[in-house]
Structure 1
Amino acid sequence: MRLILLCLLFFTLPVLAQDSIVFGVHSNTAPLEWRNNGVDQGFNVELMNRIGQLTSTRIIVRRKSFQQLLNDVHNPNSDIDVIAVVSPVNMDRQLAQSDPIYATHAKAYTLQGKALINNWADLVGKRVAIKNGAFVDVYLSDKLQKFDRVDVDLYETGFQLLIKNQVDVVIAESFVARRLLPMYPSVRSSSDALIYGAFNFVANSSKSEQMYQINEALRQLKLSGEYDQLVNKWFGTGREKVDLTSSERRIFALAIIVAIISGAGLIYTGFISASLRRKTHTLDAELIQRKRIEVEISELSQQFQSVLDGIPNGVTIVNQDLQHLWSNDNNIYLLDSDAFYYIDNDVFVLKTAVLNVLLSQKSLIADMRYQQQFWQLQIHPIAQDQVVILLEESTEQHRLRQANEEASRLASLGELSAGIAHEINNPTGLIVHAVSLFSAAMKDLSPAATYYQKQNPFWLIAGLQPDIAIKELQHSCGSIEDGAKRISRIVNDLKRYAMPHIADGYTQVCLNDVVQVALRLTANQTKFNQVITQLTEQQPCIYGDAQQLQQVLINLIQNACNACAEQQGIIEIETSIDGATAILSITDNGCGMNSATLKRITEPFFTTRRHEGGSGLGLSVCSKIIKEHQGEMQMLSSVGKGTRIRLTFALAKE
């Protein structure tokens, strides 16, 4: 309903340190400004965006109530820089304003069958609806009013009062009235233009430099013809249609004059009659055209309503008493559900939220939860006692955000692990070196301990018999050495996981050779299982690092051995070539994995063998090495049926 106003939002820096213009918008109806699927459109919005391009300035649209915009444009500290308003012709504003953007006018509207309004004198003694703050209100502010003025917040409110016979006349701006007339068929245009006005961009006096730039860009658009193209795009011909009632009155007056003059002679009468027939024909054609346009506008309004109804997100307009003034009925049940609450588990009460928004006249945007879904709730004030409520499901965005945060944590963990590995490596080396010395010393001291025990039968070492104590010490040295080597392996895995990709030293590597070496190095683990190898006679050569690829296969073989029961495990290793792809696969008939484990199997530090000493880094390192070799790893597994892992690489070109 608010066609008088349009707003310009935000002149902040585009690339370096440029200003931005905040363009304040109030109306929501075409063609001056409106919103389609959440995108601000219209003549003023597109014109202002084009001005922003010419001045290298970012334009941001911000919507507020009509009275808020009027207050903000007079406040140098407000977040609104520029608005678009109608000013009466020949009446200057104290604020900085642009050249005229588009001409308009206001006229009188009455119920069908009421007397026509020829001039201001015909309004004497009548109840006349005037919109507060509109250019009609500005025009009348310093003029004597001999009619009973009724202030309204919207032109539509004036039309509603007119239908209820609470006012006699509504003086409305033409663009708004055109849109309202199809919705109020009992109302008609009853006068010629009473006030002429023009749309202007208006800014606070502190923004005079910005207004100068806007004027320069506006003049450039007019000279280049782009302005005319915008006018034709949004307004058609850019001219208001003929007022048929006024034309009929003028023609009727002309007919009376013709009838009087016709008495002077039949020839002159015939000439005037022919002229009158031509004008009547034109008038009929214009009447048909007007009816056709009214039908098109009505269809467009219905289409627009259908679009709003078809939006999957919930859109509802309510007042402060929570009465639903309009809704597309999508997901609106959430607002009254006890399971709909803020994401931080605070209780959501619709009435409290609406009253807070109306009281502060500031929008509320909050993330909400409903059962297993996530939603974004927006409540925006659109009048002193009305708000629009928007509901949009954001479950997928929430999950993506959580996945991104988890990936960031894993990346940070990798960097931290690399640092820890470096710090642990040195003391681990000292432990291994010292244990080796202790083991060698124990072998040399064993004969001396035996000899000394013969000399002193009651001699004890740590409360144990010397031969038993020597065995315990040797066993402890072995345990310490095994533990230190395990620490060293974990450290090396951590360093490998955090190591950057280095592909400069890659050479041709045959996957058959990788299999043979890996089987030799894991012979001790595979001796309890049946290993079947099927190596292709062709040479499946790829570019890579032989030691890294051996490390991958050794890890996969060890995992297969751990998954198979002793004496019953069958492990199959196969190489093949498919087109330009080399394939290495390893299959076991072990315990297999469920889908939850399969999804996390390559995550760092995830393991199902924690109690058996697994570090959870083996497959993470393997996955990283395979990616560095531009390869892919596919895993198929079923609980109780075993696992098949398939590695694919690009063949090396000869």
Structure 2
Amino acid sequence: MNVIMINWRSLCYISILVFFLQPNVYAEQQLTLNVHSNTPPFEWQSETGEENGFNIELARYIAQQLHYDLHINRRSLDQTLKTVTNDTRQLAVIAVPSGEILDINKALPLLPTYISAYNRRGEENADTWAALKGKRVAIKSASSVAMYLNNKPQDFIIIPVITNERGFELLSSGEVDYVVSEFYCSRRMLSLFPIAKTAGRPLLYSQFYLIMSDKDPDFVAAINEVVKNSFNNGYFDDLLNQWVAFGKEKIELGQVKKDFSQVALVTAIISSLGMLITLYISFILRKKTKSLKQELLNRRNAELEIKRISVQFHSVLDGLPHGVCLIAKNQQLIWQNGKYPWILEHEVLAQSKPKINLNQLIYRTFTDEYSQNLEFTLNNKHWKLELHLISNDMLALFLEDNTETFELKQASDLSARLASLGELSAGIAHEINNPVGLITQSVTLVRDLLDELKLNISNNISSTQKTNQLLADIDYGCESIDDSAGRISRIVRDLKHFSKPILEIAPKAVNLNNVVETALRLTHNNVKRIHLQLMLNKQLPTIEGDELQLQLVLVNLIQNACFAMDKPEPLLVIETGIENSNIFIKVTDNGCGMDTQTLERIREPFFTTRRDLGGTGLGLSTSNKILSIHQAQWLIHSQQGTGTEMKILFRSVS
């Protein structure tokens, strides 16, 4: 039991001893690099406190090779020299001017360098220290140059600066005459300050050395061995290329701060602008997205509305009583509403009157680019066919059963004729009564003459002279009867033709003079009470038209002229002739004339100014339709109190 207690106590003592000795062990494994400058590319401290540079990397390599923990201690040059001289495991890198002897251990030389003077472009060179006499010279404090001048003062004014960059700033502004600095530090300054130049040959040559205390010979030997190996294995060259290679030198801390601030400012501005642009673009995109959504909604609604209207439109087209077809330019059927599908069958159309060649009509519509309209008869029905060009590649064909419309038109024409006959009836009756009375009188005369002739024959009165006289009187009576019967026959024939319904238009060559003569016979009872002046061109060419319809037109014009001349010395002038290659017929009266309102409505159906006298308002409206069918031009000139001129222009057959 006592043995166990003794062993336990021994272990405690050993543990306590190890605990107190442990810091010394750690202290012996620590290597310190003393840095005294803040000059790239050798040694400088970043804004975050991180140490960088050639010297730092070399010290880290040495510590790694010797298995030391590296500690970096920033001091002044004097403190650095004192620490390295008096303490072990202390390292530093300094530039030793040529000819200077330091009482300190130095490892192999690291880098050669030199010290030169720098001034402004265009100024005199300074190749020696004597050339700087009396000049203001900027020198970095605690640098190798300052150390050299402490031992060997020169005859010029030293302007101490914290960094070489500050010295070159003073040089550029004219506050100093020269800057004296080490080569590696000055090369970058020349690119930053274009006004500066090298003032001449180097003033002083120096060498960078790794220095340490000689109090620990083993440590010194180990350091020299590591540095020597770095030369042999190429690591030292890699380190030089990384930090000190020409064109890759690090800028000084002041420039780093300045450039970093500028870059940070520019970056902040760009970031702010980018943020503003992003916000603006986001706003525009959001607005555009909203607009596009609304537009898509509107389009969707429009498409639905178009679809609905299209369905309704097709429903309307399908429900139309007319046949509707859409035909392409190559005469292929695009769409049909199903009414009268035989319209596209050429064998059926060949039986129509007149015969229809649908292919030719389609070709003509596309070629001439105007609509085609025609009427035809098929299977005892009247049809109306229309072709209308919709686009360069499509036309619409419409087929309508026009039988009812045609019959209504015929009934309307018949009504107009009957209305005209009603107005002519009184005059026609008078015209027939006159020859009938003459016939009656002539028959009585002939009967008396025959009785007298019979009496003479029975009494054997054979006077030749008297017999001849009786026979002459009988012959005159017969001629009167024959003439009166002829007049009645002509009147009846004209009435028969005038009242005959027109089943269809049959254009043929018509002489307008014959139309005038027939119309005058029908309206003789109206015309006989006025002064008639006929001016008919005997060489008048024929026109193409329907003679019966043109007779109706002229009868209406003559009747209206006669009704308008309720005044003393009425005058009716009817003239035919040629004007500008057109054939015309003109009816002029010196009646009451018409005002503007009457002229505007004269062609309207059922419009009349003689409603109380039995006028129907169908005469001139029917005449207008007939003249439209004949493609005639109807000109009306009228003045109240002076009279009216009705002029109709036709194209000749030629």
Q: Which has the larger radius of gyration?
A: 2
User: TM-score, length-normalised on structure 2?
Assistant: 0.33
Q: Which has the higher helix share?
A: 2
